[in-house]
Amino acid sequence: MVKAGIVGGTGYTGVELLRLLAAHPQVALQVITSRSEAGMPVADMFPNLRGKVDLCFSEPSVDELSHCDVVFFATPHGVAMKSAGELLDNGVKVIDLGADFRIKDIPEWEKWYGMQHTSHELVAEAVYGLPEVNREAIKQARLIACPGCYPTAVQLGFMPLLEQKLVDVKHLIADAKSGVSGAGRKANVGTLLCEASESMKAYAVPGHRHLPEIQQGLVQMANAQVGLTFVPHLTPMIRGIHATLYARLTSDVDLQSLYEQRYESETFVDVMPAGSHPETRSVKGANQCRIAIHRPQDGNTVVILSVIDNLVKGAAGQAVQSMNILFALDENTGLETIALLP
């Protein structure tokens, strides 16, 4: 059994991690910390966990966390970079669901996140936890930086095109739509039901923090400079990301076969039949990315549709997937849940 701890379990990625880890047959959940809620039973905050998780939130403590084999950080950026080092020194593996170790270019990170980074060497060491790209590196990692939700949907969608150099990489467009849970479980007027339901809007069009992360990934895939216009939208639903990706083809190949081959052995990426339109609800609660490829009117613009559950394949599920790889478990252990539909 893998002994697991969670730092910062009061948000939506936290409760999702709890849901997955509580049901994981090879994990023993040891500790979950929250400075603000120390002492409160986890199931008082998240009543779905009543009878399933008996833990109380506790004060963060390196000593206690060091008894774990792995510690997940489900914290706002700036937290993990302060505490991860000590845990690693104590032999604990660290999987960060936050943004601290995702971007290799530290000045770029500091520009977008508005704070100084205090762990340059850990950024260098961290493995970007997108198993479909970095499975081998994840096996050897001590520290894993889980991708953001948008970056997961967008990178998996573009990857085969970029790896095969089939599109004009200078003018990629990612129009992405996210459910409101992506904004987290914070008291905030903008994500009240009365503000965010029955409406649709774009946000952060001038620049979103996931842009440099996506670009870094695309550059690596394309092995070239990449130009990306990324427009996120807030959609009136709880879970789900739908990324609609546009690129201009520079050569002519069978895209359907290309995608099917690229993801043939990937359990968690489903290339749908030609002509499909994936729905976000088809992955609700499941660690799955579903992708469809279109070439409208046989023109030279390819349209990729890529859907995930932002809290699962976009966060907690992907973190567990990386944990499974790290501890040499079957990659889909504890991740076989079927999406909840309707």
For residues 237-276, which are near a second copy according to CB under 8 A? 237-240, 242, 244, 246, 248, 270, 272, 275
Q: Minimum Å distance from CB 287 to a second copy? A: 12
Question: What single string gives the DSSP state of each residue in 157-173?
Answer: HHHHHHHTT-B-GGGEE
The answer to whether residue 301 forms part of the interface with a second copy (CB under 8 A) is yes
Contacts 24+ apart (CB under 8 A), 262-269: 262/159, 262/160, 262/163, 263/132, 263/160, 263/291, 266/132, 267/331, 267/332, 268/131, 268/132, 268/313, 268/321, 268/332, 268/335, 269/132, 269/156
What size, in residues, is the chain?
342
One-letter amino acid of 21: L
Instruction: Judge whether 289 counts as a catalytic residue.
Output: no
The answer to whether residue 128 forms part of the interface with a second copy (CB under 8 A) is no
Interface with a second copy in residues 191-210 (CB under 8 A): 191-203, 205-207
**Dist. CA 326–CA 285, nearest whole Å:** 23
Q: What's the 3-state SS for 295-340?
A: CHHHCCEEEEEEEECCCHHHHHHHHHHHHHHHCCCCCCCCCCCCCC
Any idea what DSSP says for residue 100? T
Of the candidate spans 41-49, 97-105, 155-163, 313-321, the one that interacts with a second copy by CB under 8 A turns out to be 41-49
**Which of 281, 327, 329, 333 is in the footprint of a second copy by CB under 8 A?**
281
**Which of 138, 156, 305, 326 is in the footprint of a second copy by CB under 8 A?**
305
- Under a CB-based contact definition with an 8 Å cutoff, are residues 31 and 54 in contact? no
Decide whether 137 or 204 has the Cβ nearer to a second copy: 204
Of the candidate spans 44-52, 119-127, 143-151, 217-225, the one that interacts with a second copy by CB under 8 A turns out to be 44-52
Q: For the window 67-106, what string marks contact with a second copy as x by the rule CB under 8 A?
A: ----------------------------------------
The answer to whether residue 146 forms part of the interface with a second copy (CB under 8 A) is no
Q: Minimum Å distance from CB 124 to a second copy? A: 26
Active site residues: 149
